[in-house]
Amino acid sequence: MEVSSTMNKNQPLPVLVAIDDGETRHAALEFAADHAVSEGRALRILHVTHPVTATFGLRSSTDRAMRLQASEACQQLLIEASALARRRTDDRVPVATDHLEGLPLEVILHESAEAVRVVLQRRHLSPLDNIINGPVVAGVSARAEVPVVVVPETAAGWRAPGRRRVTVAVKRWDADVELIDAAFDTAQLMGARLQVLSVLNRGRAETTRHNADLVEATELHLREQVQGRRDRFPGVEVDVAVRVGKPALQLLQASTGTDLMLISRPFTHLRATALGTLSRALIRESACAIEIVPGLDRVLASAGARHSGADAWGGSR
């Protein structure tokens, strides 16, 4: 392990952002830096070298030179990332950098235990990069015990204060209480307007009258949820929206008008878990950053209503 700087163990858990040398721009790093400042937490920048890259250098002096060159490139990557983060934060929070060797998925999962959240970047990968790094974003999102934020490479970052927007996508009001609380927390920290959005996945057989009644009942319940949080979050402006249609399409459309969308990942006791198709579609195609919040729906999960691979939207589809 190579460590450029270390975190103070007595400080609150940092925001962890994992970067690699294939990123054309550090959208995730910028997002993580903004979060760290808003939360008053340190920022930890992590670069993981895959064993396929790290095990050169045992056969010849040429290979050893290649390994040294790769190591120097890693250090330069972290130096530049640290400088960018310090400029982004105006040195208002501590910034640390680490270079570790190992399987990126396993290393990031291990390091996430010492973080308040993990921020990753979604980018278009070459075929080789996709074989090595492609499963990392989905794997960390599915298995981390802390929230994971996936930031598109093309994301412009948080808009200016006063124009920021956070969206929380909820399906079951009674099961998404913790998710709504997390969304209020984030909106308050970032000075953003909050949209509480529910998408009703109704079939063609449903009558227009039935859909209208269901939309009205859903909106009423969501407004009650919002009203119950007014005392704790008096400064958060909130909109409630209920849409009817295919959840994936509706949420992808909504992602174009928000800075961050929070979705829930079902709680499971199984270590080997996977995201549902809707969650995967969102982190793969959304226009905004997606935060996957784990550990929700405990009651439903313990009752056997969920299984590994299920979505927070009613099962694996």
Please, which residues have CB within 8 angstroms of residue 263's CB and are 6 or more apart in sequence? Answer: 169, 179, 251, 279, 282, 290, 291, 292, 293, 312
Amino acid at 207: T
Q: Which of 114, 99, 120 is nearest to 48 (CA)?
A: 99
β-sheet bridge partners, residue 95:
43
- Residue 49: φ, ψ to 5°: -95, 125
Report CA-CA distances (Å) from 313 to 33, 126, 184, 266. Answer: 31, 32, 20, 9
CB 64, CB 118: distance < 8 Å:
no
| Domain spanning 2-152: CATH superfamily | HUPs (3.40.50.620)
Report CA-CA distances (Å) from 213 to 157, 170, 242, 294. Answer: 38, 18, 12, 31
Q: Count CB atoms within 10 A of the CB of residue 132.
A: 17
What CATH architecture is 165-302? Answer: 3-Layer(aba) Sandwich (3.40)
DSSP state of 89: H
Q: pLDDT per residue over 168-222, tens digit each?
A: 999 865 557 889 999 999 999 999 999 999 999 865 545 566 778 888 999 999 9
Residue environment code for 153-191, b if the CB has 16+ CB neighbours within 10 A, otherwise e: eebeebeeeeebbbbbbbbbeebbebbbbbbbbbbbebe
Q: Where in the chain is the domain with CATH 3.40.50.620?
A: 2-152
Rounded Cα distance between 189 and 192, Å, is 8
- Residue 215: φ, ψ to 5°: -60, -45
Question: What pLDDT, on a 0 to 100 scale, did the predictor assign at position 66?
Answer: 67
Please tell me the pTM assigned to this model. 0.83
Q: Note the helical H segments in the chain.
A: 27-39, 51-54, 61-89, 104-112, 127-143, 177-190, 208-227, 247-254, 277-285, 298-302
Q: Where in the chain is the domain with CATH 3.40.50.12370?
A: 165-302
Per-residue pLDDT 10s for the chain (317 aa) are 344 455 555 678 999 999 988 777 899 999 999 999 999 999 999 999 887 655 544 555 566 666 677 778 899 999 999 999 999 999 999 999 999 999 999 999 999 999 999 999 987 655 544 444 458 999 999 999 999 999 999 887 888 888 999 999 998 655 578 899 999 999 999 999 999 999 998 655 455 667 788 889 999 999 998 999 999 999 999 999 999 999 999 999 999 999 999 999 865 555 545 688 889 899 989 999 999 998 654 433 433 333 333 344 433 32
Question: What pLDDT, on a 0 to 100 scale, did the predictor assign at position 258?
Answer: 96
Describe the strand order of the beta sheet including 238-244 as a list of residue ranges: 2-3, 95-101, 43-49, 15-19, 117-122, 148-152, 289-296, 260-266, 165-170, 193-200, 238-244
Q: Which of 257, 155, 145 is nearest to 197 (CA)?
A: 257
Question: What pLDDT, on a 0 to 100 scale, did the predictor assign at position 21?
Answer: 82
